[in-house]
């Protein structure tokens, strides 16, 4: 029997004939959706997800073709950069089931998720930046997750359905590397609510670019708009002597050439800065700590481009 987290005690189940009509349904937040009959369709989660996501203005997927390109660090720093504007409410949903690192990067790994009558509450890094992560569900950050497809998909649908984000301007969804069942689930579950687009993260090396090409193909096949490409670890500027060197060589032209070849916008290039990793280790905002660094300026420029592309500025 499917019973949402925010259902009252005697919920008859959202797929039952009594859904939305039973005495227990009086006053339940889901009554309208349940009474509409949509919850008896093949996937009863969809109407709840659509209802929950209706308070989230922009839903952006962060994708990378392979691991190790700094996707989660990018997502965290981007969220911090969005949240630097206290007029904006920002959220991160970390569904990187293989390696949920967002709580550690944001310095909230020891926090626990609380559930209330309105669903699961995100963990707040600051007043306008909330986070929900698979990592909060693990007994310890050293625990491996060995879940099969249906369980992974069940967790993703539960995250989308049960997290009480409230009114959000931007929700960044940090996904696992590559294109897997989880990506297809997210796309299916958010189809009705609408995904505003995807940001693809790569490094300048050909090996990373090859995987991003697959990611581009995936987005095009499932009809997700690509907001743009971000080249991470793009050159290294020594914080002391300011000399720039190429650690990950763009032997085939890097993100710039890929963007030209595919007609996708290169939103920006973020230089490798050892202080980004250090900020992630200490769970602090790199942009707040080093606002004048080339990487911080790159993050803020990327946000400006995202807003322009989405028509928010």
Contact residue for ligand SF4 among 1, 5, 7, 92 (CB under 6 A)? 7
- The answer to whether residue 8 forms part of the interface with ligand SF4 (CB under 6 A) is yes
Q: Which two tokens stand for residue 5?
A: 């987290």
45-53 vs 149-162: helix crossing angle, rounded to 10: 40
- Residue 72: C-alpha distances to residues 137, 197, 224 (Å): 18, 17, 20
Specify the stretch interacting with ligand SF4 by CB under 6 A; choose among 10-18, 92-100, 132-140, 206-214. 10-18
Q: For tokens 């996707």, what's the residue?
A: 71
Whether 67 has a binding-site annotation, put simply, is yes
- The answer to whether residue 97 forms part of the interface with ligand SF4 (CB under 6 A) is no
Whether 20 has a binding-site annotation, put simply, is no
Specify the stretch interacting with ligand SF4 by CB under 6 A; choose among 9-17, 76-84, 171-179, 280-288. 9-17
The nearer residue to ligand SF4, 31 or 252, going by C-beta atoms, is 31
The nearer residue to ligand SF4, 31 or 188, going by C-beta atoms, is 31
CA dist 220 and 157 (Å) reads 23
The values of phi and psi at residue 166, to 5°, are 70, -155
The nearer residue to ligand SF4, 34 or 92, going by C-beta atoms, is 34
The strand pair at 129-133 and 123-126 is best described as: antiparallel
Q: Which run of H or of E encompasses 186?
A: helix 181-189
Q: Which of residues 259-298 bind ligand SF4 (CB under 6 A)?
A: none
Shortest reach from residue 273's CB to ligand SF4, in Å: 48
Whether 70 has a binding-site annotation, put simply, is yes
CA dist 52 and 305 (Å) reads 27
Shortest reach from residue 7's CB to ligand SF4, in Å: 4
Question: Within 10 Å of residue 128's Cβ, how many Cβ atoms?
Answer: 18
- Residue 181: C-alpha distances to residues 118, 145, 150, 230 (Å): 28, 15, 9, 24
Whether 11 has a binding-site annotation, put simply, is yes
- The answer to whether residue 4 forms part of the interface with ligand SF4 (CB under 6 A) is yes
- Per-residue x/- track, 11-50, ligand SF4 (CB under 6 A): xx-x----xx-x-xx--x-xx--x----------------
- Residue 122: C-alpha distances to residues 5, 89, 118, 290 (Å): 14, 12, 12, 27
Shortest reach from residue 31's CB to ligand SF4, in Å: 4
CA dist 183 and 65 (Å) reads 12
CA dist 144 and 38 (Å) reads 36
The nearer residue to ligand SF4, 7 or 97, going by C-beta atoms, is 7
Whether 149 has a binding-site annotation, put simply, is no
Annotated binding site: 11, 25, 28, 34, 65-72, 238, 241
Contacts with ligand SF4 by CB under 6 A lie at: 4, 7-8, 11-12, 14, 19-20, 22, 24-25, 28, 30-31, 34
Annotated binding site for ATP: 65-72
């Amino acid at each position: 029997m499917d019973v949402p987290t925010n259902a009252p005690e005697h919920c008859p189940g959202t797929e039952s004939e009594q859904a939305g009509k039973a005495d227990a349904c009086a006053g339940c937040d889901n009554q309208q959706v349940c009474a509409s009959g949509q919850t008896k369709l093949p996937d009863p989660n969809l109407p709840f997800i659509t209802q929950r996501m209706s308070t989230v203005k922009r839903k952006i997927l962060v994708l990378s073709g392979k691991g190790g390109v700094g996707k989660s660090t990018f997502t965290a720093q981007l969220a911090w950069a969005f949240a630097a504007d206290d007029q904006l409410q920002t959220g991160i949903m970390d569904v990187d089931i293989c390696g949920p690192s967002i709580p550690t990067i944001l310095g909230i790994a020891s926090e626990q998720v609380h559930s209330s009558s309105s669903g699961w509450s995100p963990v707040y890094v600051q007043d306008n930046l909330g986070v929900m992560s698979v990592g909060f569900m693990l007994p310890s950050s050293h625990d491996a997750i060995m879940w099969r497809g249906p369980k992974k998909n069940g967790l993703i649908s539960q995250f989308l359905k049960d997290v009480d984000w409230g009114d959000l301007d931007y929700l960044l969804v940090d996904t696992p590397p590559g294109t897997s069942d989880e990506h297809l689930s997210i796309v299916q579950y958010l189809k009705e609510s609408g995904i505003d687009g995807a940001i693809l993260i790569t490094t300048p090396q050909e090996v990373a670019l090859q995987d991003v090409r697959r990611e581009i193909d995936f987005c095009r096949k499932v009809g997700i708009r690509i907001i743009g490409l971000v080249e991470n670890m793009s050159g290294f500027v020594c914080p002391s002597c300011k000399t720039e060197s190429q650690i990950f060589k763009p032997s085939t032209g890097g993100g710039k050439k890929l963007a030209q070849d595919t007609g996708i916008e290169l939103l920006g290039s973020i230089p490798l800065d050892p202080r980004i990793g250090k900020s992630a280790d200490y769970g602090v905002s790199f942009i707040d700590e080093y606002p004048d660094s080339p990487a911080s300026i790159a993050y803020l420029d990327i946000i400006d481009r995202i807003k322009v592309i989405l028509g928010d500025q």
